[in-house]
Amino acid sequence: MFARLWQKLHNFRRDQGGAVFIIVAVAMPVIFGAAAASIDMGHILYIQSELRAAADAAALAATDELDDEDAAKLLAVQYAELNMPISQNGNVVDPDDVILGNWDTDTSTFTAAGTPTNAVQVTARRSSENGNAIGLYFAKLIGFDSKDVSVLAVASVSTSDTTFCILSLSETGSGVTMNGSMSLTMPNCGMAVTSTSDGAFTVNGSGTVTAEEICVAGTTTENGTTNVTDPTDSCSSVPSDPLSELEPPVFDEDDCDEDNFRVTGSNNTITISPGTYCGGITIGGNNNTVIMESGEYIIAGGGISATGGTLTDDGNGGVYIYNTGTTDDAISPISIGGTANIDLDAQSTGDYASILFHMDTGADFSAGGTGDTDMNGVIYAPDNDVSYSGTSTQSSSCLQIISNTVTMSGTSDVLADPDDEAGCDSDVVIADTTPPRLRD
């Protein structure tokens, strides 16, 4: 009896049946933990990458509306939803998650509401607070139902404060050429040259160029005893043409308000009205004054030639002058020379706000002689040359030149100062157009 009981106890001690269940039971938390760590973590990382893409896209898009906070927030939210639809992810970016401010490239820091406003910070999130936390699978078995994840993106535009007054669009050759002892003074704006050639900006003689910045895609050549503000060669921040999409006015070349308008003789004062001037405008004689009423003028062939007297606006809103040609009247230059004086301001409102002269392909713009000119607005000649010569003096608070090439010669004195007391509030911004960048 005792021997039989002892044998059963001995057999039970040696029996390993069911041991595996004990081992499995002990190992189950580890197994599920490993599954949670691999499957759930992979899921979290995937959602995090989607949030990163959505935040980046939202921040980059919002930089298009830095001057309008509400519009920037709306644009960011829209782009975030395009990347992560609400139907699948809930709302990942709220307007309050979009913050405008300043990015300091020197310190690599973003300051909310900092100035100048050049950056946008966007936070994209899947969270319990938003009601869209990331649901987990295996981790639920060890007590974790969901995970909050958020990412932050900052995008900024160029931090350059320079506004350019002169932009040469020629891609090769000398984009800007200065000869003689002329003086160009732009203390609060810059000059940019698109040409990538050697001598893209060429200065000959004893000329002086003072500018806030000179940005040359190619190289600068100075011959003689010139005095030029330090130009930046191989500059990567040359602006693009801000008026490249500008549409000229539509007109009927058979419907002319004036044909071959001429002013001669002496001491005449004539007021002209906006409209289509076929055959151009010619102002000569002695001490004549032509006053342009505010509005839009189309020079349909013949150009403008002023060799004496004064051409001015009426001071009640400014003018826009489009120089083109017709079937009967070929396009001709706008030429201001002799003793002619010009005093014109661009319009401040309308489709052509801030544009004073708009040159169609085929005609240059030149100001020379001994007269003085005061032109406030844009001289836009994307396919042609704009030149100053003689002893003329050009002084303005808001002169901007956008042309294929620019040539300045003689002893002319050209001043463009958008920060002088007269002020300058141009709708045409010639500035560094480097695409917005994501910041770490």
Contact 66, 118 (CB under 8 A): yes
Contact 435, 158 (CB under 8 A): no
The pLDDT-based confidence of 152 (bands split at 50, 70, 90) is very high
Q: What is the DSSP string of 271-300?
A: EE-SEEEEEEEEE-SBS-EEEEPSEEEEEE
**pLDDT per residue over 33-68, tens digit each?**
555 567 878 888 999 999 999 999 999 999 999 889
The full set of domain ranges for the chain reads 21-156, 164-439
**pLDDT per residue over 227-247, tens digit each?**
888 899 998 888 889 999 999
Answer whether 0.85 is exceeded by the pTM. no
**pLDDT per residue over 356-388, tens digit each?**
999 999 999 998 888 888 888 999 999 999 998
Residue 365 and residue 297: Cα distance in Å, rounded? 16
The answer to whether residue 280 scores a pLDDT higher than 90 is yes
What integer is the mean pLDDT of 410-420? 61
**pLDDT per residue over 7-41, tens digit each?**
655 555 555 555 555 555 555 666 655 555 678 78
The pLDDT-based confidence of 433 (bands split at 50, 70, 90) is low
Q: What is the DSSP string of 375-424?
A: EEEEEEEEEEEEEE-TT-EEEESSEEEEEEEEEE-TT-EEEE-TTSTT--
Angle at 56 between CA 436 and CA 135, to 5 degrees: 175
Angle at 213 between CA 211 and CA 215, to 5 degrees: 125
What integer is the mean pLDDT of 275-293? 95
For the chain, the average pLDDT equals: 86
The answer to whether residue 420 scores a pLDDT higher than 80 is no
Write down the pLDDT at residue 346: 95
Write down the pLDDT at residue 421: 46
Query: What is the percent of the chain with per-residue pLDDT over 70, rounded to a whole number?
Result: 85
Two tokens at 306? Answer: 């002023």
**pLDDT per residue over 112-127, tens digit each?**
998 878 899 999 999 9
The answer to whether residue 281 scores a pLDDT higher than 80 is yes
The answer to whether residue 424 scores a pLDDT higher than 70 is no
Write down the pLDDT at residue 422: 47
Single out the residue of 303, 188, 167 nearest to residue 243, CA to CA: 167
Of 49 and 425, the structure prediction assigns the larger pLDDT to 49
Residue 212 and residue 218: Cα distance in Å, rounded? 19
Helix (H, G, I), strand (E, B) or coil at 182: coil
Two tokens at 95? Answer: 């307007």
